[in-house]
Amino acid sequence: MYTISDWEYRTRPDARLLKRIGGYGDETAAFLMGPVKDLVERTYRASRDRRDVAVAGSSMGGYMALYVGSQYQRQVSKVLAFSPVALDAPMRGYELRDAVVAAGARPTQHIYLDMGDRERLDFCGSQVLLDHLDELRLTVQEAGHRHVLARVIAGARHDERAWGTRFLEAYQWAFGDMGSA
């Protein structure tokens, strides 16, 4: 799964059984930044220059983009996290925030974070998600990152269509000033 620790949750409030999630974030990050990145660079005309390398994801993929970016800073200069879900309960989001702070901010990265104001999950509503977005913003700033853009998107929901409509603008922000990466 796309987390760095194990956790469990109820699929609905009245459910008796808990769904267990295994945290394979370290393995996932190593796989993406090792064999997958190597395959892409060998197969396509992809730059190996970190200034041209970004990680991006939405929802739990946004969580993983932040984690991969923090752990592989020498390879990644841009992180785009759309609607990153890193709640303390149930998914132990504080562990992600601790990892980001512990990694620091060397070298410089551009970090984009966003959340729609109409997003909700089975176990929380939009205000909880917006509050955690702000915590993530504060976390990356505490880690020392200075090129950070955190946005709340009016009317946006937690789905691929919403993320797709804002990808281009996030990409242009991250790659717009190539001289400062």
Q: Is the pLDDT of residue 173 over 50?
A: yes
Bridge partners, 153 (sequence order): 116
pLDDT over 60 at 181, yes or no:
no
- Summary mean pLDDT of the chain: 92
For residue range 90-109, list pLDDT tens digits in order: 888 999 999 999 999 988 99
pLDDT at 180: 45
Would the pTM of this model clear 0.85, i.e. be above it? Answer: yes
If pLDDT is split at 50, 70 and 90, which confidence band does 61 have? very high
Q: Could you read off the pLDDT of 1-33 as tens digits, one per residue?
A: 678 888 777 777 788 888 888 888 999 999 999
Average pLDDT score over residue span 138-162 = 96
d(C-alpha 103, C-alpha 87), whole Å: 20
